[in-house]
Amino acid sequence: MTDPLLSIRDFSVVYDVDPPVEAVKHVTLDIRRGEIIGLAGESGSGKTTLAYGVQRLLKPPAVITGGSVVFHDEDGADIDLHALDVEQMRRFRWDKVSMVFQGAMNALNPVATIASQLDDVFVVHRPRMGRRERREAVDELLEIVKVGAQRARSYPHELSGGMRQRVMIAMALALRPQLMVMDEPTTALDVLVQREILKQISQLRHEFGFSVVFITHDLPLLLEISDRIAVMREGEIVELSDARELWTNPRHEYTQNLLRSFPRLTGERGVVTR
| Mean pLDDT, range 228-242, rounded to an integer | 97
Same domain, 90 and 11: yes
pLDDT confidence bin for 265, thresholds 50/70/90 = low
Q: For residues 211 and 203, what is the distance between their CA atoms, to the nearest angstrom? A: 12
pLDDT of res. 273: 43
DSSP secondary-structure letter at 148?
Answer: -
Same domain flag for 91 and 35:
yes
250 and 191 in a single domain? The answer is yes
Mean of pLDDT values over 72-86: 95
Q: Which domain holds residue 196?
A: 4-96+179-260
| Per-residue pLDDT at 268 | 61
Instruction: Say whether pLDDT at 23 is over 60.
Output: yes
Q: What pLDDT is recorded for position 266?
A: 60
Q: Could you tell me if 56 and 81 lie in one domain? A: yes
> Does position 272 have pLDDT exceeding 60, yes or no?
no
Note whether residue 102 is domain-resident: no
One domain, residues 138 and 111: yes
Q: How far apart are CA 164 and CA 229, in angstroms?
A: 27
Residue at 158 is within a domain:
yes
Q: How far apart are CA 170 and CA 138, in angstroms?
A: 9
CB 85 within 8 A of CB 98: no
* Closest of 211, 128, 134 to residue 174, by C-alpha: 134
> What's the pLDDT at 186?
82
Same domain, 14 and 86: yes
Q: Mean pLDDT, to the nearest integer, of 39-61?
A: 95
Distance CA 72, CA 205 (A): 18
Residue 147 and residue 64 share a domain: no
CB 238 within 8 A of CB 255: yes
Q: Which of the four pLDDT bands, split at 50, 70 and 90, describes residue 109?
A: very high
The stretch 68-79 carries a mean pLDDT of 96
* Dist CA 152 CA 118 (whole Å): 9
Instruction: Note whether 189 and 197 are within 8 A (CB).
Output: yes
Give the mean model confidence (pLDDT) for residues 64-88: 96
* pLDDT per position as a tens digit, 148-206: 999 999 999 999 988 999 999 999 999 999 999 999 888 778 888 888 888 999 999 99
Neighbours of 59 (CB within 10 A): 6
- Three-state DSSP class for residue 150: helix
Verify that 126 and 20 share a domain, yes or no: no
User: Which residues are 22's β-sheet partners?
Assistant: 14
Give the mean pLDDT of the chain: 92
Q: Could you tell me if 188 and 164 lie in one domain?
A: no
Nearest 5°: the CA angle 12, 8, 28 is 70
Overall number of domains in the chain: 2
208: left (phi over 0), alpha (psi -120 to 50) or beta: alpha
Report pLDDT for 59: 94
Same domain, 131 and 152: yes
Burial state string for 168-178 with b = 16 or more CB within 10 A and e = fewer than 16: bbbbbbbbebb
Do 91 and 187 have their domain in common? yes
- The answer to whether 62 and 38 are in contact (CB under 8 A) is no
End-to-end CA distance of the chain: 52
If phi over 0 gives left and psi between -120 and 50 gives alpha, with beta otherwise, what is residue 88?
A: alpha
| CB neighbours of residue 261 within 10 Å | 11
Reference 82, options 2, 22, 10, 1; nearest CA is 10
| 176, 198, 214 - which closes a domain | 176
Residue 263 has pLDDT above 70, yes or no: no
This prediction has a pTM of: 0.91
Domain CATH number, residue 253:
3.40.50.300
Q: Say yes or no: 90 and 204 in one domain.
A: yes
Percent with pLDDT over 70 in the chain: 94
